[in-house]
A and B are shown apart, each in its own frame.
Chain A
């Protein structure tokens, strides 16, 4: 039962719609999923894997397979980012799990460069609905591709951290990493 050979043949035939694999990070084991269009999902350790994969099967395609080789590029870029050696991701984002205002808010968030931050109110305005501050917050809270779509760069007016799907300590760590604070190493 050579599953690696099976994955290779399935990929050669274009039969893998969603490939996923684990990626290590300074704050635990992440699961990353890609389609031919780009990275479609990044899940934190706390998220239940079965649920994450079932959602991909329901909303993208049931042809979901664990193929670590297909995630090599994403894994390398994330490693470099966590080590502070990478400021932007080359792997494109597949936004197909986002719709309506959430899509606009996430696209606007995607454009925030490394080391910069916005407030939820500013993000809502850039996404075209200045009054949709709460919806902008929800779009960030349920961001399917955190870190790459940098929702950690969106804060409360006045500088409060706001929330974060992976836990506030992770948001703090990412912001410290990007501001060059040595505390980024403190987590471990």
Chain B
């Protein structure tokens, strides 16, 4: 048994005193201080760091962490209507099995000779995302969807040589603020009005703003508020007539049933990987993708790593490598395209497993069931006195207005929480023009009974 000052650390094999001593002796060192002598005394940290007392055994450490985590409330023990950028979807057991394999979980930047499998899984992931979105080029994951939007803005600016980015005013609030930060140095963002009455982008406003300076038009379908954009092809036509490009933010879980952006002429599709088999983890499950046309003028502007397949010297064998590596900051430092770093590769690999399991039939069923459950929830909520719903075409999410309900969204959500229901995202600060409204989300995880429980709880509040 070990005690203070006498610990042999299970994760540090050479902390065994005899081994450590033998190594120091081999080097002719008294201690590691003979290595640290290179650091002047004035720069040394004096004393010992004041950290919490360590918990050396795994058994006690597990208990300690689990005790803290038990203070959380999860979406399995509660009914959640939260979405807006992270969604509660089923995570197939296979996603956990593969995502938890030490081989890929603890891999990093090896080339494809020793890490062939990682390259192929990510290649299959980008291939399937390309199928979903209607494009033939796709990157390895970005940090998240907001970063994918920001990167696409800068890519489009380089491709077109233009400096203005038009953005629908109702895109996700985090996507808006993160895009603004990335564009701040040299790009101008102009917001295009959203015609809430007709549930679509205001084309008159778009036409008045698109110009020879426009690099990109970015809109989302479904929008942050859940509405599907019915004018996708017209927006593309307006943009292309001015030499501007179009990026569409998509929910990949919708694309089994909804038109792929590549098939109505868009130049990019961007979105979030988390709903494709990654646990929510309080927002830790994010990963973004950018799909585009397989043309040099688009592909050459990615800052991301791109994994490509080619034949090897052995007949019938697939090999992998980095496509156009010099374009990256790894290859060319500040002369590369923006910057690249460690992002969310594992989530891209998990998405591959998810999409391979689902196939076209699964993705179609998923989209259909979400729309049916959502429609049922909208219909039932509309019957609650004082609750107003908006018609139009939605996917997964929808706005619920409580102006005539007699309670604020915050009060409604507080009351729902007591009944173990997580009400929708409060929109009163992010979309004040919608009044006392909340954004509700329905996925395949919610049953009829769950939706009915919400309706009963609201009726009891009236």
Do A and B pair up? The answer is: no
